[in-house]
Amino acid sequence: MRIQLFSLLLLGFFVQLSCKEYIAEDPTSFAIPFENSQGTQTATYQEVIDFYLLLAKEFPEINVQTIGKTDSGHALHLVTYNPDGDFNFQKIQEEKAIILINNGIHPGESDGIDATMLLFRDLAQQTFSIPENVVIATLPVYNIGGMLNRNTTTRVNQNGPVAYGFRGNARNYDLNRDFVKMDTENTKTFASIFHLVQPHVFIDNHVSNGANYQYTLTHLFTQHNKLGGGMGAYLHKSLMPNLERRLSDSGWDITPYVNVFNRPPETGFSQFMDHPRFSTGYTTLWNTLGLMVETHMLKPYKQRVRGTYQLMREMIAIVDRDFEKIKQLRTKAFDTNALLKTYPIQWAVDTTASSILNFKGYTADTVMSAVTGLPRLRYDETKPFEKHIVYQNYYCPSDSIIVPAGYIIKRGWKNIMERLTANEIDFFELDRDTVLEVEMYRITDYQTYKRPYEGHYLHYGTEVTSSTGKIGFQKGDFIVRTQQDGIRYLLETLEPEAVDSFFNWNFFDAILQRKEGFSPYVFEDVAAQILRENPGLKDSFDLKRNAEESFAQNGYEQLDWIYKRSRHYEKAHLRYPVYRILKNSRTEELLKN
């Protein structure tokens, strides 16, 4: 990780060269393009960076750092506001709560970019009550490549701004699907920033439209049951309702993210489940309270930016008030995670529990399309309504695993170790060849999507069987303890049945293909001998032939069935190359050395 602090001399020189193009006639106003255009334009990438550099030059409470790199070739910027002027995050962690704001993950959704510029300016100029117990950090633009790909046409449903960035990054990845698989340089740098800052609260600013309704603002908090424990209860029972109330008192009604597409929301909907591929799903793995802000893209741009600004102000006020409680809950969550015995890896909507929303929508009609001649959905904004609808915002585990004491990963899987290293996971190497008793998985079933998804053909519905046995490991193989702050990250990525496991993201696809096989004309004689020497196997074989007509008519399948049950079948096929160290086993002693 490379961190560069800008000197005031360099800042001054840079600002003189590049900030004149957009600063208002009175430079002390720090007006931005959004304001100068009466709320119709968003800043370009260079205008954003120049703005923060100018703020850092004028206000010692603002600090700008460049960190790492992105697929665009540009470094990411981290901008921090601390009224104390101290930017040592390790020290800040001991004294205050930290909020990290992410903007421009989808640069066409630029509301947060402009709103955060306004927020940092107003914090620096002290135009509202300054928080005493909160430090605010932001990634002004996360998807730099997408923001540089500026256009006026790709957000076909969106009501402004005039021009904006593109959803895909410089390599056309959707960065809000990349937090676990880490295909991009952006995500690798994000991980280094996240672990540097260690935020207590994470806000990711977005824009969306799956339906039409009266709200400008919707919130997508990380799913509270999945977050779990005291933090999940605090988020669900205190943080979320307090934010809703404060925004309502400020004239900004807000509702949970309307998780529907091409159907009226008044029929009810469920909470969006933020798996670890998403930003808030990823940050949750380190006990950070996560919130995606989703403004409604049909509302005027000026209104959306102002709403995002107000939401961030209200969140800052809540965290400023509750900072001690939030810090204590996060510390306790890490302590509790260290004692986990089981861990849920699959979730389902809890049909026995739900909430009732007093929802403000528009009447939906089905009319004939003038384009297709088929029925289409249309919302009538002249017919607003307010009614109670069912909101399913409770989830329960549908599958769980027993938490191991640790994992052993053979040294050849460097792509896995690179991702663990990027996330500051502790591990060590075996110092000699040895045989250890471990639990091992064999992949018994999985499905694969037929269409590419973010550079992968994603697996799902993965099933495994487990067994214990002695395996030979080599010097240099990696030992990973689970009892560390990254335990949830390890379980979500290394357990193959988890939704966003490294297995499901294709990192272990090489084990799915057999490397050795047989020629039927040669193996026929070998197969006959195997059956003669194994009466029990022959009984099973005959039973299957008699019971299954298709099997009885397929000679190759019969030979393959025998082959897979012989000593000739390769052990590596479908054997998952991450081995579990069971608690209270002799191998666990290795972790204590």
Give the pLDDT confidence of 350-359 residue by residue, as tens digits: 999 999 999 9
End-to-end CA distance of the chain: 30
Model confidence band, residue 49 (pLDDT cutoffs 50, 70, 90): very high
| Residues contacting 66, CB < 8 A, separation 6+ | 2, 3, 4, 6, 75, 76, 77, 78
Q: Listing from the earlier edge strand, what are the strands of the sheet with 459-473? A: 428-429, 478-481, 406-409, 578-581, 434-448, 459-473
How far apart are the C-alpha atoms of 477 and 294, rounded to whole Å?
A: 44
Mean pLDDT of 315-330: 98
Q: How many CB atoms lie within 10 A of CB 67?
A: 18
Q: For helices 414-422 and 185-197, what crossing angle results, to 10°?
A: 40
Tokens of 345: 């890896």
Give the pLDDT confidence of 235-244 residue by residue, as tens digits: 999 999 999 9
Residue 83 φ then ψ, to 5°: -60, -20
Tokens of 381: 């904004």
Give the pLDDT confidence of 443-480 residue by residue, as tens digits: 999 999 999 999 999 999 999 999 999 999 999 999 99
Instruction: Name the residue among 410, 441, 398, 444 with its Cα closest to residue 582.
Output: 441
Torsion angle of alpha carbons 546, 551, 555, 556, nearest 10°? -140
Checking if the pLDDT of 6 tops 80, the result is no
pLDDT number for residue 16? 35
The share of the chain scoring above pLDDT 70, in percent, equals 95
Give the pLDDT confidence of 390-438 residue by residue, as tens digits: 999 999 999 999 999 999 999 999 999 999 999 999 999 999 999 999 9
Checking if the pLDDT of 19 tops 80, the result is no
Average pLDDT over the chain reads: 94
The CATH homologous superfamily to which domain 69-337 belongs is Zn peptidases (3.40.630.10)
Looking at the chain, how many residues does it have?
593
In our burial notation (b when 16+ CB lie closer than 10 A, e otherwise), range 291-321 reads: bbbbbbbbbebbbbbbbbbbbbbbbbbbbbe
Mean pLDDT of 565-572: 96
pLDDT number for residue 209? 86
CB-CB contact of 123 with 130 (8 Å) = yes
SS3 590: helix
pLDDT number for residue 4? 42
Q: Where are the domains of the chain?
A: 69-337, 397-514+572-592, 520-564
pLDDT number for residue 535? 97
Statement: the pTM of the whole predicted model exceeds 0.85? yes
Checking if the pLDDT of 2 tops 70, the result is no
Checking if the pLDDT of 270 tops 70, the result is yes
